[in-house]
Amino acid sequence: MHDKPLILVFVKAPIKGHIKSRLAASIGEEAAFALYKDFICDVVDAVEKSGYPLRICFHPANEKETVVSLLGSGYFLMPQPSGDLGKKMEHAFRWTFDEGFTRVLLIGSDIPDIPTPILREALESLKENDIVIGPAADGGYYLIGFTKGSFFPQVFHGIPWGTKAVLDMTMHILEEASCRINLVATWQDVDTVDDLMSLFNRNRDTAFAQSRTMKYIVKARLHE
C-alpha cells in the first residue's frame, strides 16, 4: 500500500462573540477574536513547515467563506460533521481513510506555538504504533493520530469532552484494547488568560516570538 499521510486541523470559523469565550471574558471579545485568527494562522504555518499535506476541518459547516477570508483559497477545506467533538473527530478520520490516506494526524487550533518537530515525530511514530497522542496540560489531548489499519473509533465514544478526565479515559480504552500507543510531548492549550500568559512567557526567547500571536499580545499589551 502506498503511504499517504495527512494532517487535519480542526478550527472554528473566527466569528466575533462565538470563539474563545473563556479568554474573551478576561481580555474582551475583540482581542479574543483577533488572537484566535492568529492562532489558526500560526498552527497552519507550523503544519505547512512539516512538509505534510493538510486539510482544514471547519465548524460551523455554513461558514466556509469566513475561513477562506482568513486563510485564502489555497487550502483544502472540509466541514466538520454534526455531533459532539468525538463524533466530529471519528467521522473526519473515517472520511480521510476512506479516501485512501494511510496515516492521519488530527490537531486543534488552540496550540499556536506547537513545534513542527512534534508533528513530524507524531506522524513518523505511526509507522510503528497504532495510535499517537499529544497530552494537553489540562488533562485532555491536543493531537491524536491513527493508521488506516489501526483506526479505533471506540476511543471517541462516551468521553466527557472538555473535562480533565479526557486523556485518562482515552488511555484506559486504548490500553484495554492492547493498542500500541506513542505519547509525544505534553503541550498547553490556550483557553484562558493564564494559558495565554504562560504561552507568552515560555516563548519570549524562541522563534515563536516573531509569530502573529506573540506580536499581537505585545501590540495589544496583553502581557502587561
pLDDT digit string, tens, across residues 171-208: 999 999 999 999 999 999 999 999 999 999 999 999 99
CATH of the domain at 169: 3.90.550.10
Q: What is the pLDDT of residues 79-100, one digit of tens each?
A: 998 899 999 999 999 999 999 9
Predicted pLDDT of residue 1: 57
Predicted pLDDT of residue 82: 87
Residue 129 lies in a domain: yes
Distance (Å, rounded) from C-alpha 148 to C-alpha 1?
11
Residue 213 lies in a domain: yes
Distance (Å, rounded) from C-alpha 25 to C-alpha 214?
20
Q: Look at residue 14 and tell me whether its pLDDT is greater than 90.
A: yes
Residue 187 lies in a domain: yes
The burial of 149, by beta-carbon neighbours within 10 Å (0-12 exposed, 13-18 middle, 19 or more buried), is given as exposed
C-alpha dist (Å) from residue 187 to 134, 136, 167, 182: 7, 5, 13, 15
Give the domain range for residue 191: 5-219
Residue 77 lies in a domain: yes
If one counts the domains in the chain, the total is 1
pTM over 0.75: yes
Residue 224 lies in a domain: no
Question: Average of pLDDT values for 119-135?
Answer: 97
DSSP assignment of 131-177:
EEEEEBTTSSEEEEEEETTT--GGGGSS--TTSTTHHHHHHHHHHHT
* Per-residue pLDDT band at 2 (split at 50, 70, 90): confident
Residue 91 lies in a domain: yes
Distance (Å, rounded) from C-alpha 150 to C-alpha 131?
7
